[in-house]
Structure formats: structure tokens, C-alpha cells
């Protein structure tokens, strides 16, 4: 039994000390998407929209990167003043990502990001557009915190999965504060540029 335990500990140590996938000064490009799960004041629970999130990241150390995320979100099934509505938003979210497992094929990380953007509400039928749509449109803040991982198929190309908690708030309208709060499982492709 002791021998099995020693061999198991040795193998785990060898696996955890493998070659690192990410190196200082590496540059990566990620294109990902996530369905918006959750609930808010003006929409039901479930999948209500989608976010497209291209980003670029730069490794400041072997395990830590600074990422610049650009996002486009579209949320449907909204009711604004009893009118079927939707919104589209754009945001810029800088984030810090730290790999606590950094292997040749597999990386596991935690990330935190905060940024700003803009949102525009509109009626499904433009004939029913109201002043309230304009009042709700404006600036937003976005906070993300989550864990995830990358699996690399070769030296440059891999799959990325993140499970973040996302909180998005309207910062220019007094009528509505919380736009979205919930988990947004993200799946994407990553490509190492250098």
C-alpha cells in the first residue's frame, strides 16, 4: 500500500511539473460565445440571449496574462412598459487571468475582469418604441469572475471553457440597475499568435 501511495504521489508530482504551455510574452487570440442564463427584473429565467466575446491576451509572466475582451451581447424576451423588446450592448472588459495549472496541453485558470460599455434598448416592433426605451439605454458596467481551462490540440490551437459569474449594471439610468446577473458558461477557441 505504501508503495502504491509513493508511486501515485510521484506520478502526480511529475504531471504537475510538466512543460508549461504559456510563457512570458506569449500573445493569444480567443473567440468565444456564451448563452445568457439567469434572471433579472425584466426577463424570465433560462437562456435569454447570447454574448460574442473576441479577446486578445498577453502573458506578463508564465502563469499570468492581461486580457482585453470586447463583447457584443443581445438579449431577447424583454418587456419594457408591457412592450416586447430586446437590447444590444457592446463592452470593453480588461481582465487578469492566472493559471494555477499550466501544462503543455492543459491549463486551468481563474480570472477577474471589470469594464464598461453601452446598451441600446428597442421594441420588437419599431412602431411601439417608447421614451422608456431611450431612458433605459446608455452606459453599463460589467464585472466577471470565474474559473476555466484550455486544452491545446497542438502548439498553437486549443479549446477554451470558462464558467464565469457575470454582473452587468446600467450606470446611466435610474429606472433600471441590474441588466444581467448569473452564470454564463463560455466556450471558445484559442490561438497562440507567437
| DSSP state letters, 46-70 | SEEEEEEEEEEEEESSSSEEEEEEE
- Residue pair 167/145 in contact (Cβ under 8 Å)? The answer is no
Residue 150 lies in a domain: yes
Range of the domain at 127: 19-192
Q: Comparing C-alpha atoms, which of 91, 89, 54 is closest to residue 189?
A: 54
**Does the pLDDT at position 15 exceed 80?**
no
DSSP code of 28? E
Mean pLDDT of the chain: 83
Q: What confidence tier does 64 reach under pLDDT thresholds 50, 70, 90?
A: very high
Q: What confidence tier does 176 reach under pLDDT thresholds 50, 70, 90?
A: low
What is the C-alpha separation between 81 and 87, in angstroms, rounded?
A: 14
User: What was the pLDDT predicted at 23?
Assistant: 83
Q: Comparing C-alpha atoms, which of 114, 99, 189 is closest to residue 148?
A: 99
pLDDT tens for 23-61 read 888 999 999 998 876 555 555 566 777 889 999 999 999
What is the CA angle 68-71-74, rounded to 5? 170
Q: What's the Cα-to-Cα distance from 78 to each of 16, 83, 128, 136, 184, rounded to whole Å? A: 47, 8, 14, 12, 18
Q: What's the Cα-to-Cα distance from 192 to each of 99, 141, 147, 189, rounded to whole Å? A: 15, 29, 20, 10
Domain at 132, CATH number: 2.40.160.20
Q: How many alpha carbons fall within 13 Å on the CB side of residue 57?
A: 29
Q: How many domains does the chain have?
A: 1
C-alpha cell at 2: 505504501
Q: Comparing C-alpha atoms, which of 23, 111, 21, 110 is closest to residue 59?
A: 23
Residue 13 lies in a domain: no
Residue 8 lies in a domain: no
What is the C-alpha separation between 141 and 91, in angstroms, rounded?
A: 8
Residue 6 lies in a domain: no
User: What was the pLDDT predicted at 24?
Assistant: 86
What is the C-alpha separation between 188 and 190, in angstroms, rounded?
A: 7
Q: Which range has the top average pLDDT, 41-45, 79-83, 137-141?
A: 137-141
Residue 145 lies in a domain: yes
User: What was the pLDDT predicted at 130?
Assistant: 81
Residue 23 lies in a domain: yes
Q: What confidence tier does 138 reach under pLDDT thresholds 50, 70, 90?
A: confident
Residue 52 lies in a domain: yes
Residue 96 lies in a domain: yes
Q: Which residue has the higher pLDDT, 182 or 19?
A: 182
Amino acid at each position: 500500500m505504501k508503495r502504491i501511495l509513493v508511486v501515485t504521489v510521484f506520478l502526480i508530482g511529475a504531471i504537475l511539473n510538466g512543460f508549461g504551455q504559456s510563457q512570458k510574452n506569449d500573445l493569444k487570440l480567443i473567440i468565444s460565445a456564451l448563452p445568457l442564463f439567469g434572471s433579472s427584473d425584466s426577463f424570465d429565467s433560462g437562456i435569454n440571449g447570447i454574448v460574442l466575446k473576441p479577446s486578445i491576451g498577453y502573458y506578463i509572466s508564465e502563469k499570468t496574462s492581461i486580457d482585453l475582451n470586447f463583447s457584443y451581447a443581445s438579449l431577447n424576451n424583454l418587456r419594457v412598459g408591457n412592450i416586447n423588446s430586446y437590447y444590444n450592448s457592446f463592452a470593453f472588459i480588461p481582465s487578469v487571468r492566472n493559471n494555477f495549472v499550466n501544462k503543455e496541453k492543459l491549463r486551468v485558470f481563474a480570472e477577474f475582469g471589470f469594464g464598461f460599455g453601452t446598451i441600446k434598448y428597442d421594441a420588437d416592433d419599431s412602431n411601439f418604441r417608447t421614451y422608456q426605451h431611450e431612458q433605459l439605454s446608455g452606459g453599463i458596467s460589467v464585472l466577471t469572475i470565474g474559473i476555466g481551462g484550455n486544452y491545446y490540440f497542438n502548439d498553437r490551437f486549443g479549446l477554451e471553457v470558462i464558467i464565469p459569474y457575470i454582473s452587468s449594471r446600467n450606470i446611466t439610468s435610474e429606472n433600471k440597475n441590474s441588466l444581467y446577473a448569473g452564470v454564463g458558461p463560455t466556450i471558445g477557441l484559442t490561438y497562440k499568435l507567437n
